[in-house]
Structure 1
């Protein structure tokens, strides 16, 4: 999957490709990351035939704290 230039256009913007054995682990990791930084949120999980585990792509701005929940 190609990374769009806008997702890393400035220092502090990152793209994370995370692979885990199962979807539950990915959900836990994404939830923890979105508590630390402003992120793209919980993203759809991908499976690649012939490769172990499941993968997700998440975008984050490590300069910002997440928006408070009302």
Structure 2
């Protein structure tokens, strides 16, 4: 079974020369470049940058307590 890209390209190749065919060819080029750019498998995987945590990061979740005093 041919891929959709192959099917679209074949369909455009069957079009008579003219503006419609030119527009379709430009759209195919744009679509292929966009897919290439967005495909996550085109770049090696990497871990996200995780920011260093601080005790004060917990303040919004502790109410009146302190991240430095566990006896609140």
Structure with higher RCO (Cα < 8 A, 6+ apart): 1
| Higher strand residue share | 1
Larger Rg: 2
TM-score greater than 0.5 by the shorter chain: no
TM-score, with normalisation over the residues of structure 2? 0.25
| Higher helix residue share | 2
TM-score, with normalisation over the residues of structure 1? 0.25
